């Protein structure tokens, strides 16, 4: 006995993809993660919460990880975009502080932590996560660094990737271990890793 009784629901849109369903899924996934944690983030729960059929989710997303990636990519660009337009030492500092704030205080930051975690458990997640998030983001960061170096804004001791990991790693590690970022940590990291030694007092 399929969809016999229907008082009035969202009339779906026919043979083209239903944008309302897409957004409902994204928000349901976000909300469930924030409210009840990754353990409650099952496809069935997302479908239930979004008022959507499971098949609709499987039709458009290969796994729940891709749902999270969709929201993360959008949120990251909105909340802490990489300053690729004429980056300065100051804008790089702002970027890292923004990143730290996102991870520590923004509910959406849990999505990034959950994806890092899930990537440890599942190779497919690791692949998607690198290709769709870490890779593109790191490319922008390299670009940012290169321009800042050329403009004489910064002068790192390490290669670009190592520099970024040395900056970002401690922030991520603090978030993963559930501790807050102590004041001064980011600024000190920037000073010792990006500032030419001669500028040390």
Partner DNA sequence: TTCTAATCGAGACGGTACGTCACGTCTTACG
Partner DNA sequence: CGTAAGACGTGACGTACCGTCTCGATTAGAA
Write out the DSSP string of 102-123.
Answer: HHHH-TTHHHHHHHHHHHHH-H
Place of tokens 């983001």: 137
CA atoms of 199 and 201, how far apart (whole Å)? 6
Question: From residue 50 to residue 89, what is the string marking binding to DNA with x (rule CB under 7 A)?
Answer: -xxxxxx-xxx--xx-------------------------
* Residue pair 84/139 in contact by the 8 Å Cβ criterion: no
182 binds, among a copy of itself, DNA, none (CB under 5 to 8 A by kind): a copy of itself
Regarding 149 and contact with a copy of itself (CB under 8 A), the answer is: no
Rounded CA separation 18/36 (Å) = 27
Please, what is the minimum distance in Å from the beta carbon of residue 118 to DNA? 12
Q: Tell me the C-alpha to C-alpha distance, in Å, between residue 148 and each of 60, 94, 134, 187.
A: 40, 14, 21, 17
| Count of CB atoms situated within 10 Å of the CB of 61 | 20
45 binds DNA (CB under 7 A): yes
Task: Work out whether 14 is an interface residue with a copy of itself (CB under 8 A).
Answer: no
Rounded Cα distance, 68 and 64, in Å: 6
6 lies in the binding site for a copy of itself (CB under 8 A):
no
User: 3-state class of 99 per DSSP?
Assistant: helix
Question: Closest CB to DNA among 60 and 160?
Answer: 60
CB 119 within 8 A of CB 129: yes
- Region of 43-51, 79-87, 93-101, 180-188 interacting with a copy of itself (CB under 8 A): 180-188
Q: Sketch the per residue contact string, 17 through 56, with a copy of itself: x for CB under 8 A, - otherwise.
A: --------------------xxx-----------------
Q: Is residue 117 a contact point for a copy of itself (CB under 8 A)?
A: yes
Within positions 4 to 33, which residues make up the interface with DNA, using CB under 7 A? 6, 8-18, 21-22, 24
The contact set with DNA (CB under 7 A) reads: 1-3, 6, 8-18, 21-22, 24, 40, 42-45, 51-56, 58-60, 63-64
């Amino acid at each position: 006995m399929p969809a016999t009784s229907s008082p009035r629901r969202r009339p779906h849109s026919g043979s083209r993809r239903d944008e309302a369903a897409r957004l409902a899924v994204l928000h349901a996934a976000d909300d469930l993660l924030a409210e009840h944690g990754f353990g409650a983030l099952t496809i069935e729960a997302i479908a239930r919460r979004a008022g959507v059929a499971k098949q609709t989710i499987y039709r458009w997303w290969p796994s729940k990880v891709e749902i999270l990636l969709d929201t993360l990519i959008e949120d990251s660009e909105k909340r802490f975009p990489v300053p690729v337009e004429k980056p300065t030492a100051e804008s790089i500092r702002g970027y890292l502080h923004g990143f730290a704030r996102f991870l520590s205080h923004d509910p959406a930051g849990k999505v990034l932590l959950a994806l890092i975690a899930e990537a440890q458990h599942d190779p497919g997640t690791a692949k998607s996560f690198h290709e769709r998030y870490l890779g593109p983001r790191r490319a922008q960061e390299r670009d940012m660094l290169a321009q800042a170096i050329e403009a004489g804004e910064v002068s790192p001791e390490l290669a670009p990737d190592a520099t970024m990991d040395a900056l970002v790693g401690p922030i991520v590690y603090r978030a993963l271990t559930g501790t807050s970022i102590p004041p001064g940590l980011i600024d000190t990291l920037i000073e010792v890793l990006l500032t030419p030694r001669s500028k040390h007092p």
